[in-house]
Structure 1
Amino acid sequence: MTRSRRLLTLVTAAAAALATSVGLAPAASAAVDPILASPYIYQWSGNTNTSAIMSATGVKAFTLAFVLSDGGCNPKWDGTRSLTGSDATLINNIRAAGGDVIPSFGGWSGTKLGTKCTSASALAGAYQKVISQYNLKAIDLDIENTDEFENNTVQDRILGAVKIVKANNPGLRVVITIPTETTGPSATGKRLINQSKALGANVDAWSVMPFDFSNGGDMAAMTKSAVDGLKNHLKSTFGWTDDVAYRHSGLSSMNGKTDVAAETVTVANFNSIRGYAASHHLARFTFWAANRDHGNCGGSSSTCSGISQADWAFTKIVAGYTG
């Protein structure tokens, strides 16, 4: 499977009324942290009965992929689905079951808002439509591929938009998810982090994707090395202690066979990674994706991990993460 990865005011009475008008449940209580332990899930390929997943695993939050451009500076799910359609129903169902969500903007493929919105303020406006529509506590910006991640102008535009939506939505938290090397962020990733400080973007959590970077081997060890590298760069950039830098770090793994044929993240690997995450109190521990959290079902695909595992094994591990 090739991963398709992966303006004003806080929530006003008008935004709340809009949410009600499309049948959305209110945001979940503060006890549910949508950033901390929220596996990715997508609507385009099965297993979107989130109530059943929550009941089977105990997981309380999901990262919903992906919000994209409809061809202009306007957000739609996968670039085609209305904010008030089936995805709104999905959010409603998760919240009705006592959970919450963090929508993810971007990913590997599709047309990105970062490239189609021509200014930071316009991009912030696009983010705000989604924030207001769903009364959000957090958003994930999945920045990868050449269109956003490797374009300095777009990087800065995204960070400028983050600064605006953070100012206009007190309490909103922002995750930025980026590719990584085994030793930590690449030069491109380091630039993004450095610019976040220079521009005052105040990103709450930086999350690396520690997969698709090796020829196989111990994926638990390489994941830990990648996150340590992220922590070290955050520490040197912001002048934080190790503890503070770890608490602004996170990871988004991939269950089972990754996009690289030789790479496999086993259930044992993922348990080891959770132990590491807990020991450092990482801000985010997740994986791509709950839809494929099934084993003994053939090769790696959008609905199968490609390994021998129990159903929901990875989701249960995430559900047990408390930071």
Structure 2
Amino acid sequence: MRNPLSNPSRRPRRRLLALLATAGLALTGAVALPGTAQAANILTNPGLESGSLSPWSCTGNLGSVVSSPVHSGSKALAGAVSSSDNAKCSQTVAVKPNTAYTLSGWVRGSYVYLGVDGGASTWTSSPSAYAQLSVGFTTGASQTSATIYTHGWYAQGTYYADDISLDGPGGGGGSDTQAPTAPTSLRSTAKTSSTVSLAWNASTDNVGVTAYDIYSGSNQVLSVSGTTATVSGLSAGTAYTFTVKARDAAGNTSAASNAVSVTTDTGGGGGTGFKQAAPYLYEGWGDPPSVSTVMSSTGIKWFTMAFMLDGGGCNPMWDSNRPLTGGVDQTVINQIRSAGGDIVPSFGGWQGSKLGANCSSASALAAALQKVIDAYSLKAIDMDIENTDEFENEAVQARILTALKTVKANNPGLKTIVTFGTSTTGPTYYGNRLIEQAKSIGADIDVFTIMPFDFGGGSDMYGNTVNATEGLKAKLKSTFGWDDATAYAHIGISGMNGLSDQQELTSPAIWTQIRDWANSHHIARLAFWSVNRDRPCAGGGVVSNCSGISQNNWQFTSITAGFTG
């Protein structure tokens, strides 16, 4: 698969600028808003927190409200750009003539624009995370309304926008210029590692208060109609300072309330404290590379060694035919440890004779796992649960989870990982069942790792990987009662570098985006299949010893080594 965004002739910058000039759109920098008692965000539903698009209107019905990725709160705007429609989403508001306004917002995607019809606009080329745009303009002498918009660019993929703000006095031709009184007694009523709940005493106004705007420092993060709010999407163990301002229908805004400082929780007992960057390495396939070369070239320390299978009679062997100890696998493990690294063996995989399916009971499987733990004094083990013999077999799922519970109890400090497939929106039926079974038997799994490839990801492997991971987070929260930070701390991502079996393309740039997202959300584990394939062979297809794309040797491993959680 060819990445359309890697083609420099697709939408060159100078063509974009020429088109902007043709459309009469001027690119300007941010303009400071004059100090005024009436300054306020006069947009309705600026962060899409209502869960509805209204009053935003999007061309081609291409706009929607999504829960991930968001800049703050729990919702954001998504514009599904097509080859013939830039998914322009707009809102018209009343303004005052001859008045300065500042339009700002947070956007993410390739070539995303923010502007006002018939006036100024600004844009950003391709941020991998949310970036803030800001532009100022002054209304005309008789102008009483303005239509502000955001849009993407043709055939450049879905864009996202959040926390859009038009700061200035509201219009409407009324004579109300009196601001509400400031809210009082702002206080924190609850907190977690990722949320802070606030309450305050109501303001008064000569006409009536219509909204309260919540600020974190100087950034507006939420608008509500009542006197309570919960700010979400915060970082664990971090100090935040909040204030609240009241706003009336004319756009008059009050002075700020008292400030309240809150430090979010560190994650509590639900977090594992376990972080692991461990790409797969397979000694039975794919021209195995020199681990000392890979480690010295990339800085990687951990490897996931594949695959521990059944050699017959519930007896663990590498790939079912290489000895547990004394063979090439042990030689490589010794080399890794001599270089300051370590390994986690992966039991199972897509095919072969698997211990989970062939051991007659959970106790027999636990005994087989214990042989491997003892042989290598392991700190962690990974159960790669796939295919119909394990993943889609409910009895085998239970056997594996029970065995993991047993070895964890018998080996204090051992970390247990389960790895399984996913859809683009999160766990499938069997993935959900696996998580529910883990909860019901008290398996105390440290990391639930999804494999976001061969899952219909198409051209947006970054977006779909994030969406799948957010779906897993939601399932962990609902099943275990965890907060966001604790759920993320139990999550792993295991991708496939280059071309997948279904021709999904994960380029080094996309993998870097995924790693950066994983770091920013403090997940537990990052892996990919495989180091054997972490070599270039542009146009080489899906083969065992190269990625099928143009890249540098060990480039994906180097990127993965930058995962810190």
TM-score, with length taken from structure 2: 0.51
Query: Is the Cα contact below 8 Å between 2:275 and 2:564 reproduced in 1?
Result: no
Partner of residue 398, structure 2: 156
Query: Is the Cα contact below 8 Å between 1:270 and 1:317 reproduced in 2?
Result: yes
Q: Which runs of 5+ in 2 are unaligned?
A: 1-272
Alignment of 1:127-138 (within 5 A): 127-138=369-380
The yes-or-no answer on 1:313 pairing with 2:559 is no
Partner of residue 4, structure 2: none
AA matched with 1:63 = T
Residues 208, 106 of structure 1: alpha-carbon distance in 2 compared, 3 angstrom cutoff: same
Alignment of 1:100-179 (within 5 A): 100-179=342-421
AA matched with 1:40 = Y
Query: Is the Cα contact below 8 Å between 2:308 and 2:347 reproduced in 1?
Result: yes
Partner of residue 277, structure 2: 37
**Residue 544 of structure 2: SS of its match in structure 1?**
coil
Task: Give 1:224 deviation, angstroms.
Answer: 0.4
Higher relative contact order (CA 8 A, sep 6+): 1
Q: In structure 1, what is the Cα distance between the partners aligned to 2:473 and 2:490? A: 8
Q: Deviations over 1:169-195 (max 9, x none)?
A: 000000100000000010100001000
The yes-or-no answer on 1:49 pairing with 2:290 is yes
Partner of residue 35, structure 2: none
Task: Give 1:154 deviation, angstroms.
Answer: 0.4
Q: In structure 2, what is the Cα distance between the partners aligned to 1:253 and 1:116? A: 27
The yes-or-no answer on 1:266 pairing with 2:507 is yes
AA matched with 2:373 = I
Partner of residue 210, structure 1: 452
AA matched with 1:52 = T
The yes-or-no answer on 1:87 pairing with 2:326 is no
Partner of residue 309, structure 2: 68
Q: Deviations over 1:212-261 (max 9, x none)?
A: 01162110000000000001000100000011101101100000000103
Structure richer in helix, relative to its length: 1
Residues 158, 35 of structure 1: alpha-carbon distance in 2 compared, 3 angstrom cutoff: farther
Q: Which consecutive segments of 4 or more residues in structure 1 shift more than 6 A?
A: none
- Matching residue within 469, 474, 494 for 1:252: 494
Task: Give 1:134 deviation, angstroms.
Answer: 0.2
Task: Give 1:49 deviation, angstroms.
Answer: 1.0
Moved more, 47-56 or 181-190: 47-56
Matched residue count: 290
Q: In structure 2, what is the Cα distance between the partners aligned to 1:88 and 1:215? A: 36
Structure with the greater alpha carbon radius of gyration: 2
Query: Is the Cα contact below 8 Å between 1:141 and 1:175 reproduced in 2?
Result: yes
Q: In structure 2, what is the Cα distance between the partners aligned to 1:317 and 1:79? A: 31
The yes-or-no answer on 1:241 pairing with 2:493 is no
TM-score, with length taken from structure 1: 0.88
Query: Is the Cα contact below 8 Å between 1:34 and 1:102 reproduced in 2?
Result: no
**Residue 227 of structure 1: SS of its match in structure 2?**
helix
AA matched with 1:51 = S
AA matched with 1:55 = S
AA matched with 2:447 = A
Q: In structure 2, what is the Cα distance between the partners aligned to 1:241 and 1:218? A: 28
Query: Is the Cα contact below 8 Å between 2:451 and 2:495 reproduced in 1?
Result: yes
Partner of residue 58, structure 1: 299
Q: Deviations over 1:150-177 (max 9, x none)?
A: 0000000001101110010000000100
- Matching residue within 520, 523, 527 for 1:286: 527
Q: In structure 2, what is the Cα distance between the partners aligned to 1:281 and 1:176? A: 18
Partner of residue 229, structure 1: 471
Residues 35, 106 of structure 1: alpha-carbon distance in 2 compared, 3 angstrom cutoff: farther
Q: In structure 1, what is the Cα distance between the partners aligned to 2:360 and 2:386? A: 18
Query: Is the Cα contact below 8 Å between 1:34 and 1:101 reproduced in 2?
Result: no
Structure richer in strand, relative to its length: 2
AA matched with 1:37 = A
Task: Give 1:299 deviation, angstroms.
Answer: 2.4
Aligned-residue sequence identity (percent) comes to 57
Q: Deviations over 1:43-93 (max 9, x none)?
A: 022233111100010001100000000132110000111111111111101
